[in-house]
């Protein structure tokens, strides 16, 4: 088995639960081009597809960073701001975000009321010999009124509240966290 065919834990890529799912292929303007297998979209040269990243804040303006679980195929153990995934066909970015917040962190819609799309960008990044992301990524933000959570250990390795502006202004102080590229781009565009 080559590195292209397995994750860091040795699990074949085709055996990951989400390898059989589809993502929405899109053009550079985020116009739907049909469905593509999720594994196909993230290997070889990849296929541009729709994605989102959600930035979750508390009342003090701190961002919640979530460490990706160790058995994630791409960017395992890297820190994300806060959840990232792919909407399903006919699912809005907001609905997809609500779903992932609840599935990954146990955060329910009654804990916030300001979920909104704030940006969208395209990027392409390779990860070691494991695969890549080529996404048109929507950025959503929300502020938690209630910060209680119940993280799913299969999705989240750790949680960390960080002063958002300090993280942006002093990236060298945080480089040991190994931030996910889509989060770094979203933060740079948001605060740059």
Q: Which contacts of 38-42 are long-range, i.e. CB under 8 A and separated by 24 or more positions? A: 38/86, 39/13, 39/14, 41/134, 42/73, 42/74, 42/131, 42/132, 42/133
The reply to whether 86 sits in an annotated binding site is yes
The catalytic residue among 122, 135, 154, 155 is 135
d(CA 124, CA 48): 8
Omega cis (within 30) before 152: no
The reply to whether 78 sits in an annotated binding site is no
Distances (CA, A) of 97 to 43, 45, 186: 24, 27, 16
The reply to whether 49 sits in an annotated binding site is yes
| DSSP H or E segment with residue 168 | helix 164-169
d(CA 26, CA 35): 9
Verify whether residue 88 is a known catalytic residue: no
Backbone angles phi, psi at 19, to 5 degrees: -65, -25
The reply to whether 135 sits in an annotated binding site is yes
Where is the binding site for Mn(2+), in residues?
42, 49, 86, 133, 135
Where is the binding site, in residues?
42, 49, 86, 104, 133, 135
Where is the binding site for Mg(2+), in residues?
104
Report, as residue numbers or ranges, the catalytic residues.
135
């Amino acid at each position: 088995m080559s590195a292209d065919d397995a994750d860091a834990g040795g699990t074949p890529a085709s055996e990951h639960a989400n390898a059989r799912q589809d993502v929405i292929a899109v053009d550079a303007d985020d116009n739907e081009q049909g469905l593509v297998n999720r594994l196909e979209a993230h290997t070889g040269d990849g296929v541009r597809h729709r994605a989102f990243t959600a930035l979750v804040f508390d009342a003090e303006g701190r961002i919640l960073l979530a460490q990706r679980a160790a058995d994630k195929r791409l960017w395992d153990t890297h820190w994300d701001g806060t959840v990232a995934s792919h909407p399903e066909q006919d699912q809005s970015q907001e609905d997809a975000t609500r779903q992932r917040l609840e599935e990954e962190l146990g955060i329910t819609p009654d804990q916030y009321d300001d979920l909104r799309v704030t940006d969208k960008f395209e990027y392409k990044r390779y990860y070691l010999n494991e695969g890549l992301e080529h996404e048109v990524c929507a950025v959503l933000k929300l502020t938690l009124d209630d910060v209680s959570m119940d993280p799913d250990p299969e999705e989240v390795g750790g949680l960390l509240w960080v002063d958002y502006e300090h993280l942006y202004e002093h990236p060298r102080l945080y480089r040991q966290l190994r931030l996910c590229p889509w989060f770094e781009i979203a933060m740079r565009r948001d605060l740059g």
